[in-house]
Structure 1
Amino acid sequence: MDQSNVQKLFEQGAIFVLHDFPERSEFGIDYMSWDTGPNFKGVKMIPAGVHFIYYSSVNSQGQKGPRSGFFYNFAPQEIVVKYWDARAEDIKSCQLPEKELSRYTSNKQDLDKFLGPYPYDKYKQWISLTKHISADLVVMLQPDCGSIYSVPQFESISSTTQSRQAAAEEAAATVGGISQDTFSQASKTLPELTSVEGTKIKYSEVPNKRYPAGATPSEITKYNMDSSYVLDLLLSRFDKDFEKLLGEIQFAFVCFLVGQNYDSFEQWKKLVHLVCTGSEAVAKHPEAYLSFISVLHFQIREIPSDFFVDIVTSNNFLTATLYELFQNIANESVDTKLQKKSKDFRKHLTDKFKWDFSSEPDEYAPVVVEG
């Protein structure tokens, strides 16, 4: 990148300033991370839009902790200033007075040498993974605490030794082969834990009811194979805007792939399966399914190869689910443009990964309800 472009990006781009972040810790934005040096104070030249900032501090033994992060929608030329809270081992937000923010703006050139440049060589990849994630969707989904953690956050429930022992004795009565003494001894030292309020990502709940009230046996059979009814209920959360559902699929994928949040992987699987198995929805939302195939194409391209073996292809999740998608799109009532894109995507996956979509997986055989 020539110097004139660098200067333009520095002037127009946003800046994220982080004070007091521990040396040799991990800091990342979007699709690139670094181990920080002694002079690190943030990132410059950030293009306007939604980005994911993540970090993992290092302890005195040089061991990195679990990854944490958050989405933020940067405005052009915006300067965001945050501080590292060593006691909480997390980033601390604070509202700076306008006068102090102006000082950062006027001293941008002095701050420049302490800032790492945004990784523009990875920017196209980031856009391909987040095209449907809007600022409004980030507000809707991000936890109330503002951070996305790679490990669940727990706190102790207020209790006494007597209450823990009583609960242990009750549990021992229902569990064979384990003595009450074992439970009682453990209960005296182990506190009862619960999830910290406000730390969970506010993902959409997939409705359990798969068919409308008063459905006939044949309709029950149909909607157990076709998720269109459930998909339509879920879209109500987004005012029937399929774009926002695609955004949640991308949000969940980024939180899993970059944020290392496993619950997000489970949500991604649920939503991908739901969209893939909606045969009526394919004909009803052809443009949305064209976008959905593009979303999957870029996501599958970015998944590390060992994920396919260890996680993504466990129980043939992707191949079985994509088989359903390709079958639904092959229906003659479906838009021809969508059919062509589906065939091209299927061929690409077969050529690249040797996935076989020629026969129906056993676990997806239909369940028929008798009248």
Structure 2
Amino acid sequence: MASYTSHEEKDFEKFLQCKGAALVLLNVPVHTEIGIDMHSWTIGPKFKGINLIPPGLHFINYSAVSKYGETAPATGFFHYFEPNDVLVKVYQPATEEFKDESPEQTERVKINLQSLRGELGPYPSELWRRWVSLTQKIDRRHLESVLPLSEKQMRSTAKRLINEGLPELVPVAGLDFRWYELPERTHKAGATPAYITAVCIDPTPILDDLIRHLGK
């Protein structure tokens, strides 16, 4: 993938300064792992969130860390950031989850956002092109159709330890993706023997038909 030229980098930085979104995370314990898209950090005491986020679809994930240094399974959610959007979440220690802040507090944060700039880490813009290449075909409608019904976040739990002490993560009922069921038959009714043979060798046409069906 081609890298930015210095001119493109400057233009992109100017764009984010004018239109970049912000994710404000309140009351987050020190050492919590926070990630956006394909990057994550172990946060310090001054962390209040992420700014200069390019508008569009992003995935935010987090893992609580116990006082003994044990990291919990990750929880995450998707969010479409509009230009200059400010998303405010507050951490709930009892459930180790982020919840939406009240509308009143969110508005106060937006008004005073400039005072938080020093405590907001910049979005890792060097990863943006790669992230867009992975997500540019996902629109809001398709995303909403597969997200959990009960909450708009995904969560898994450690069922048991497997090889080398790693946990086997099992989706929590109601908090996993609602996957589409793939058709049992790999060809259309009335398909010719030549077509059936062809899709057994290369099932790309079946995938194309499925994508067209899901897009309706």
Is residue 2:155 matched to residue 1:149? yes
Q: Report deviation, 1:203.
A: 2.4
Q: Does 1:90 align with 2:97?
A: yes
Q: Verify: 1:131 aligned to 2:136, yes or no.
A: yes
Question: In structure 2, what is the equivalent of residue 48 of structure 1?
Answer: 55
8 Å CA contact 2:90–2:98 kept in 1: the answer is: yes
2:216 matches 1:210: no
Letter of the 1:236 partner, please give it.
Answer: H
Instruction: Tell me, in whole angstroms, the C-alpha distance in 2 between the residues paired with 1:80 and 1:95.
Output: 11
d(CA) in 2 for partners of 1:55 and 1:18?
11
**Aligned residues of 1:12 and 1:77 also touching (Cα < 8 A):** yes
Please report how far the alpha carbon of residue 57 of structure 1 lies from its aligned counterpart in structure 2 after TM superposition.
Answer: 1.0
Identify if the C-alpha distance between structure 1 residues 134 and 212 changes in structure 2 by more than 3 Å, giving closer, same or farther: closer
Between Structure 1 and Structure 2, how many residues are aligned? 197
Please list, as runs of the form range in 1=range in 2, the aligned pairs for 1:63-212 lying within 5 A after superposition.
63-97=70-104, 100-144=105-149, 145-151=151-157, 196-212=172-188
In the alignment, the residues of structure 2 paired with residue 209 and residue 203 of structure 1 have an alpha-carbon distance, to the nearest angstrom, of 18
Larger Rg: 1
TM-score under structure 2 length normalisation = 0.77
Higher relative contact order (CA 8 A, sep 6+): 2
For structure 2, which runs of at least 5 residues remain unmatched after alignment? 1-5, 160-169
C-alpha contact 1:15 1:79 (8 A) present in aligned 2: yes
Query: Counterpart of 2:213?
Result: 236
Deviation by residue 1:317-367 (Cα, 9 ceiling, x = unmatched): xxxxxxxxxxxxxxxxxxxxxxxxxxxxxxxxxxxxxxxxxxxxxxxxxxx
Relative to 1, partners in 2 of residues 1:230 and 1:103: Cα closer, same or farther, differing over 3 Å?
Answer: closer
Per-residue deviation at 1:93?
A: 2.5
Going from structure 1 to structure 2, the CA distance change for 1:20 and 1:7 (only over 3 Å counts) comes to farther
Structure 1 residue 211: Cα displacement: 2.6
Alignment of 1:216-365 (within 5 A): 220-227=196-203, 228-229=205-206, 231-233=208-210, 235-239=212-216
Specify every segment of 5 or more residues in structure 1 that has no aligned partner in the other structure, as ranges: 154-193, 240-371
How much does 1:50 deviate?
Answer: 0.5
Kept after mapping to 2: 8 A contact 1:30/1:52: yes
Shift of 1:126: 1.6
Residue 12 in 1 paired to residue 28 in 2?
Answer: no
Question: Which whole-Å CA distance do the structure 2 matches of 1:128 and 1:215 have between them?
Answer: 35
Offset at residue 86 of structure 1 (A): 1.0
Residue identity in the other structure for 1:26: E
Secondary structure of the residue aligned to 2:209 is helix
Equivalent-residue separation in structure 2 for 1:101 and 1:123 (angstroms): 27
For the residues of structure 2 that align with 1:94 and 1:13, how far apart are their CA atoms?
A: 20
Name the CA distance, whole Å, in 1 between partners of 2:14 and 2:189.
62
Root mean square deviation, CA, Å: 3.1
Q: 3-state SS of the aligned residue for 1:77?
A: coil
Residue identity over aligned pairs, in percent, reads 34
By percentage of residues, which structure has more strand? 2
Larger proportion of helix: 1
Corresponding residue for residue 60 of structure 1: 67
Deviation digits for residues 205-235 of structure 1 (CA, Å, limit 9, x no counterpart): 2211123335566665454335334642453
8 Å contact 2:22–2:84 — kept in the other structure?
yes
Partners of 1:29 and 1:216 lie apart in 2 by: 48
TM-score (norm 1): 0.47
